[in-house]
Structure 1
Amino acid sequence: MRKTVFMFSGQGSHYFRMGQDLFEHDPVFRQWMLRLDDLASSLCGERVVDAIYSPSDRETFDRTLQTHPAIFMVEYSLAQSLIQAGLKPDITLGASLGSFAAATLAGFMRVEDALAAVVQQAAAFEACCDRGGMIAVLADQTLYAQPYLREQSELAAINFSSHMVVSAPQAHLAQIERSLGEREVVYQRLPVSYAFHSQWIDEARAPFESFMSSIRGTPGTLPLASCREATLLTELPNDFFWRVVREPIRFKDTIASLEQRGAHRYIDVGPAGTLATFTKYCLSSDSQSTAHAIMSPFGNERRSMAALLRG
């Protein structure tokens, strides 16, 4: 029997009004969003729900102190809605920031502590780090050996064989994009404010880990597939929640590790459905596994969720 994997994505998967269809029409999703928003407001002094679902249009939605908790809240609320509807995970998978929600759902942290940690991490980035960014590159990772990438950025993620992400300081981003464009390499800048998974966020480590020393973990109830180690974890290292945002995302290797254990049903509970897309590219042609997205910038979340639940 296939095991069900709930997959949680990180920074870059968010967008303005993500999950609005569910927020307006799914009572479980809305209940959790409002409950978590009350907690987030007490932690950072802002209503995250207002930032996500503001009635007025906005050009950008990339302030880390808003997007960090917003991603966590949307993912955790969707996971709870699926569980309430009868679809429960056997494994959780966390990519970068998504590791907080994945670990919480797997029983390693209380949800209140996880959201506080997410807010504290965002605050540490804003207080300690220079601005930077991330660029998704549709090319084999061997391209990273080229000096114009290697000397100006760090390899942040390998999602599948022809998709990687690089991180760089703000001053390097435009030149990297020009170099990629000149070589007709397809790329896309991600809507983030910092160079996650690189040396350029190291200044945030000390204040974040100081806060984490006050958080007591709990024994997990589900295994967690970590995209840092590319393996299943049944207990978390002390520095786990820093390492998952500092070290490269090994999504391709993580799916390969799970596939060695048998077929799975991969369910993307992230805002954009990107992990489901990545998974489809990672699966071999003879794999019995399937990958499913629920949310996307195009909406129709309830329809996608209903189709998944029927299956």
Structure 2
Amino acid sequence: MTFISKDRPQTGDSANSLSNLHAATDTGLIFMFAGQGSQYFQMGRELYDHNEVFRRHMDRCDRLLSFDLRDVLYNDARKGAEFDTVEWTHPALFCLGYSLAQVLIDQGYRPAGVLGHSLGEYIAATIAGMLALEDGLGLVVQQAQILKQTCAEGSMITVMDSPELYRKRPDIFFRATLGGINYDKSFFVSGLADDLQRVLTALNSASVFSVQLPVRYGFHSSAIDPAESEFRNICRSVRLAKPQIPLYSCALGGVVGDHVLDAADEYLWRIPRGEAQFQTMVANSFPNPERYAFIDLSATATLSGFLKYGFGDRYTHHFAINQFGRNLDSMATLLSRISLQN
């Protein structure tokens, strides 16, 4: 099944060039994009119905797909259903994050940098100008197809405890991979579905609070290794441009350097396969937090929550939308807050 259209009309230009924005100012804003597990049906619906800029860019992304994403995402019959079909969730998360960023950019809020976590790193790379829109969206669509064709069902679990628990309790985690550390009291593990179900049972028995994420594949673990060869072959045909603004990578644990331009397949594969180093990346990359305001442009304010619970009041952070609705109000609040800071 193909999800990138070969006959639907496509735009001829790449992602909006930050160097050509009107009314752009260096605001010290860091746009953040989360990945799998943050999705839900109807995300961004109120903005799509009432915000012309958001709708225009969602429609632009939709024209690059071989299916109608808007019908999938905003079909009222699917309200409340679990949204975990990777062929839909991958492009949905990409299109949402990209379009939310364009709302702020249209208001003149040019990011001083972008930060990507897991799948969100492809969005961040697109906003930074490293990937053309067609390439960024195309990569996540093709990755989803390859995962479905080559990988067994997997799972991911967020554990609300110190990452030391992973090292101290091999009896619980011996069949799970440490996928990433969110902050000092939150990490996630990944692996094959049956193995992760046993981990979940063991965590419940040990009275450790955990949440199984709505994903069908074990990102950031060997569970997705069968997809590596084919996906990296696709990545070798993708041209990476030098980012126009700093691109902060959870896959690399810091800012993306020029060396990745000559190793596109290695970097683009490391995003879903390597450990997501959010805590380390933030601590190492932003030693002067007063210079920045972090804007979460994901569907559930996940990364804003990581900053809140992991770093206290050290970092200023806001979010555009969350899973509780009232998108217009939350976006208006965000714009008001960042206007006061700049």
Question: TM-score category by the smaller chain?
Answer: over 0.9
Provide the secondary structure at the position in 1 that maps to 2:134: helix
Note if 1:268 corresponds to 2:296: yes
Deviation of the 1:2 alpha carbon: 7.0
Aligned to 1:296: 322
| Contact kept? 2:295, 2:318, Cα under 8 Å | yes
Letter in 1 for 2:303: L
CA deviation digits over 1:17-73, x for unaligned, max 9? 1111111111111111111111022xxxx2222111112035321111110000000
Return the match for 1:115 from 137, 143, 150. 137
Q: Which residue of 1 aligns with 2:15?
A: none
Contact 2:31/2:295 (8 A) holds in 1 = yes
Q: Secondary structure of 1:173's match?
A: helix
Partner residue in 1 for 2:73: 52
Amino acid at match of 1:310: S
- The 1:150/1:162 distance shift into structure 2, 3 A limit, reads same
Higher relative contact order (CA 8 A, sep 6+): 1
C-alpha displacement of 1:150: 2.9
How do 1:216-255 and structure 2 match up within 5 A? 216-235=239-258, 236=260, 237-238=263-264, 239-255=266-282
Which residue does the alignment assign to 1:74?
96
The equivalent residue for 2:6 is none
Match of 1:154, as an amino acid?
Answer: T
The within-5 A match list for 1:159-174 is: 159-174=182-197
Give the Cα separation in 2 of the matches to 1:295 and 1:252.
22
Q: Does 1:32 align with 2:57?
A: yes
How far did 1:223 drift?
Answer: 0.7
- The 1-side partners of 2:270 and 2:68 are apart by 28
2:225 to 183, 193, 202: 202
Inter-partner Cα distance in structure 1 for 2:171 and 2:104: 44
Question: Which of 254, 279, 301 does residue 307 from structure 2 map onto?
Answer: 279
Contact 2:114 2:246 in 1 (8 A): yes
Q: Secondary structure at the match of 1:241?
A: helix
Contact 1:14 1:67 in 2 (8 A): yes
Gaps of 5+ in 2: 1-25, 338-342
Q: 1:135 corresponds to which residue?
A: 157
Structure-2 residue corresponding to 1:85: 107
> How well do the aligned residues superpose, as a CA RMSD in angstroms?
1.5
Deviation at 1:82, TM superposition (A): 0.9
Deviation at 1:248, TM superposition (A): 0.9
Identity %: 36
Assess, with a 3 A threshold, how the Cα gap between structure 1 residues 273 and 262 changes in structure 2: closer, same or farther.
closer
Check conservation: 2:185, 2:310, Cα contact below 8 A. no
Alpha-carbon distance, 1:173 to partner: 2.4
Contact 2:191 2:222 in 1 (8 A): no
Shift of 1:136: 0.5
Separation (CA, whole Å) in 2 of partners of 1:218 and 1:262: 28
User: Greater CA deviation, 232-241 or 72-81?
Assistant: 232-241
Counterpart secondary structure, 2:109 = coil
Amino acid at match of 2:299: P
Determine if contact 2:27/2:110 at 8 Å carries over to the other structure: no
Helix, strand or coil for the counterpart of 1:40? Answer: coil
Following superposition, which runs of at least 4 residues in structure 1 exceed 4 angstroms of deviation? none
| Structure 1 unaligned blocks of 5 or more | none
Residue pair 1:99, 1:241 contacting (<8 A) in 2 also: no
Secondary structure of 2:329's partner?
helix
Number of residue pairs aligned between Structure 1 and Structure 2: 305
Q: Equivalents in 2 of 1:38, 1:81: separation in Å?
A: 19
Cα displacement (A) at 1:261:
4.0
Distance 1:234 1:152 in 2: 34
Q: Alpha-carbon deviation of 1:148?
A: 3.1
- What CA distance in whole angstroms lies between the structure 1 residues aligned with 2:51 and 2:203? 42
Match of 2:8 in 1: none
**TM-score under structure 1 length normalisation:** 0.94
Instruction: Give the deviation of 1:283 after TM superposition.
Output: 2.2
